[in-house]
Structure 1
């Protein structure tokens, strides 16, 4: 192969050094991969491609999609080896294969910060939360008051960053390029937010909330983020003021001593280091509200175009998604492996997951997996199943979920928006046998 304006290199060398360029040249205009190009791709992948005839034209194999680069990893005491997304503020996602626990342990919980992490308080029980705005009786409660005055509930609740899946958008959207790992499902203990709002005497005029926390913006100019939601979500039985995570005090990195938990909606609503909630007659105007912040187009816009978000709507219930946890992307299996026992997690915001399907022949055929019901509303769901492999070689496991309203993950990220919210394309993991 000859690159325009550059030296001639063999197809093997090109796949080794520049897989995306090699892929474009190998496929050319005919959409058929064969001969030297097929052999070179197999060499780059480390094995033959049994389902090469089913590969969609122009598809860059998942094993080559990252090119020569790769993710950087976070090295932090008390945390698993997370994929580093940013250092100021600190953000890191959980590799999919580490999300195999039904209840996400604290060390595998993804990190999403918008500003500086506040210092820990000496006595968490004295931490104060204010409820004011459109209420009859503004009140201030310590964490001790919350435990003493209100019923404690414990629920497994999924929480997902609004930008989870952002790396699937083309052209690239602004922000951390999350894969699928900005998600968790820990077990949270706390009090229902609606019980506290009722104690303050929420007025009929209260239609929205505004959330406040102790974290400041990196510029030290104001809060890091201050979002709000419709009152209906605030009154949901699963929206809680959390005081414990997995039966233990909430780690400082994850919002200690107390945080909001607004499951199924963008994680930015689950205010960390929670200090105040105001009830409002109109939508909140804090940092992270309005324009294109946590908002998506009502009607599709041209990918890559500029937009002020005037016609956008707030992202609320998160779209359906699943992850593969039984096999890490890039896994190498012993020669002679002829079946894969697969498992993973799936979720769909306020909805449930009705189906998960898997393909190992580049989407030519799909096989239904078994999907367990959630242990409680807003918890993720375990899926399992077995698929057969015809031989050794390079395979891709493609996996997609369908929600209870019949909406399935799309083949490519849909509804492009400048800040990259709501992307949930079908995922694929590279597997090499032999």
Structure 2
């Protein structure tokens, strides 16, 4: 058994068994370990309270990576992995290249791909609480398919100075799959949202890393106005296939423009609240930023932290791969994607001279709101030597990506520093 130091998102007692084994241990105590494992456990008495033998634990890590290609694993308890920028060149992000952000263990229903009896409850500040099967969702509401960016709130955390705790994402905790489901707004309207509604609260059936089935893993929400926009969907399919186990089978929310933590995986309940939601990872400094600019490294009082909502404008260079050699004096295409928590991106510019001059890139319109937008630029490296391509996206309000990390915050959220790659011009 190992622990991951320096990451408050990773509990110290990080192993967990399946429910049947947890119940067995609860009844019999650790003296039964030899029976369970089929062998003696010489140092059984030294096993700390709350720890589960690794042989009985669900492997939360590398066995679940089957089918993923080229991702960089940041941690396996819980499993988190990002995608190098050059592997994000697809207009529609395939399963094998979509980043992984887990907060707990994958539930057995997802591992088995078994949705038998699955229901979604909608309750709280509504006139008519609903209990919907997946078949009822499909039959009662219009099915929609959208390309929607999903991005971890901590994407870019590795670039803050001083550094902050948490997974050290660079630029690859983002993707733009195609999602199929029903509009969240349609379901909420069918339930009859009351005037007292302020926020949603989202719940799933993933398992806490401690193994405690009663403890919430993550339960976040969004302002009711955001939930009632037409872009958010309750999805049962990704890229035309049932949701994969790592990405929320059998149901998940996809709430574009906001950090992916509000896009609840393994969704089984939406509770409409008359106040800001206070579920797991909604309070303290989880997915929260200071209400005002602070000196980097400052300890910010909890009452001065506000919920992170809209993600900032961003872009990445997906081609060529950083470090590529190109012929001096010949034109090379540089391309990537741009996206924004407000909706459409206004423009993308690129620089070859460390930001001294900028060239506007050709920017394609999105296929739908909150999809990322393809940009392309034709560049010529004038002579042999080392160059960097910097990319800068600008939103509809004229706000662009900064060359350095933006306003510091204690947990390193919403870093939209300009992405840059290296190119080497050869004679």
TM-score, normalised to structure 1's length?
A: 0.81
The answer to whether the Cα contact below 8 Å between 1:130 and 1:140 also exists between their aligned partners in 2 is yes
How far off is 1:125 after superposition? 5.4
2:302 is equivalent to residue 309 of structure 1: yes
2:118 is equivalent to residue 118 of structure 1: no
How far off is 1:193 after superposition? 0.9
User: Alignment partner for residue 97 of structure 2, among 87, 101, 108?
Assistant: 108
2:197 is equivalent to residue 183 of structure 1: no
Instruction: Identify the residue that residue 89 of structure 1 maps to in structure 2.
Output: 78
Instruction: Identify the residue that residue 147 of structure 2 maps to in structure 1.
Output: 156
Instruction: Identify the residue that residue 140 of structure 1 maps to in structure 2.
Output: 131
Distance across 1 between alignment mates of 2:162 and 2:202 = 32
Classify 1:234/1:374 alpha carbon distance in 2 versus 1 (closer, same or farther; 3 Å): same
User: Alignment partner for residue 353 of structure 1, among 325, 342, 345?
Assistant: 345
How far off is 1:148 after superposition? 1.2
How far off is 1:291 after superposition? 2.2
How far off is 1:122 after superposition? 5.5
User: Alignment partner for residue 404 of structure 1, among 385, 391, 396?
Assistant: 396
How far off is 1:338 after superposition? 2.8
2:358 is equivalent to residue 366 of structure 1: yes
Distance across 2 between alignment mates of 1:349 and 1:239 = 13
Unaligned stretches of 5+ residues in structure 2: 1-60
Distance across 2 between alignment mates of 1:421 and 1:406 = 21
User: Alignment partner for residue 254 of structure 1, among 220, 225, 247?
Assistant: 247
**Partner secondary structure for residue 162 of structure 1:** coil
Instruction: Identify the residue that residue 368 of structure 2 maps to in structure 1.
Output: 376
Distance across 1 between alignment mates of 2:67 and 2:154 = 25
The answer to whether the Cα contact below 8 Å between 2:291 and 2:306 also exists between their aligned partners in 1 is yes
How far off is 1:251 after superposition? 0.6
Alignment of 1:46-57 (within 5 A): none
Distance across 2 between alignment mates of 1:365 and 1:383 = 18
Classify 1:74/1:381 alpha carbon distance in 2 versus 1 (closer, same or farther; 3 Å): farther
Can you list the C-alpha shifts for 1:174-204, whole angstroms capped at 9, x where unaligned? 1111111111111111011111112222211
**Partner secondary structure for residue 126 of structure 1:** coil
Distance across 2 between alignment mates of 1:217 and 1:430 = 41
2:263 is equivalent to residue 270 of structure 1: yes
User: Alignment partner for residue 284 of structure 1, among 258, 268, 277?
Assistant: 277
How far off is 1:217 after superposition? 2.0
How far off is 1:336 after superposition? 4.1
User: Alignment partner for residue 188 of structure 2, among 197, 203, 210?
Assistant: 197
How far off is 1:258 after superposition? 0.8
Instruction: Identify the residue that residue 243 of structure 1 maps to in structure 2.
Output: 236
**Partner secondary structure for residue 238 of structure 1:** coil
Using the TM superposition, name which of 122-131 and 388-397 deviates more: 122-131
Distance across 2 between alignment mates of 1:383 and 1:185 = 15
Distance across 2 between alignment mates of 1:414 and 1:424 = 7
Distance across 2 between alignment mates of 1:144 and 1:226 = 25
Can you list the C-alpha shifts for 1:151-182, whole angstroms capped at 9, x where unaligned? 10111111111011111210001111111111
Distance across 2 between alignment mates of 1:74 and 1:115 = 15
**Partner secondary structure for residue 321 of structure 2:** coil
The answer to whether the Cα contact below 8 Å between 1:393 and 1:433 also exists between their aligned partners in 2 is yes
Distance across 1 between alignment mates of 2:350 and 2:62 = 31
How far off is 1:246 after superposition? 0.8
How far off is 1:395 after superposition? 1.0
**Partner secondary structure for residue 303 of structure 2:** coil
Distance across 2 between alignment mates of 1:353 and 1:138 = 38
TM-score, normalised to structure 2's length?
A: 0.82
**Partner secondary structure for residue 319 of structure 2:** coil
How far off is 1:337 after superposition? 5.7
The answer to whether the Cα contact below 8 Å between 1:347 and 1:380 also exists between their aligned partners in 2 is yes
Can you list the C-alpha shifts for 1:259-283, whole angstroms capped at 9, x where unaligned? 0010110000000000101001011
Distance across 1 between alignment mates of 2:114 and 2:285 = 39
User: Alignment partner for residue 385 of structure 2, among 354, 379, 393?
Assistant: 393
The answer to whether the Cα contact below 8 Å between 1:212 and 1:271 also exists between their aligned partners in 2 is yes
The count of residues paired between Structure 1 and Structure 2 equals: 361
How far off is 1:94 after superposition? 1.0
How far off is 1:74 after superposition? 7.2
**Partner secondary structure for residue 265 of structure 1:** coil
**Partner secondary structure for residue 144 of structure 1:** helix
Instruction: Identify the residue that residue 19 of structure 2 maps to in structure 1.
Output: none
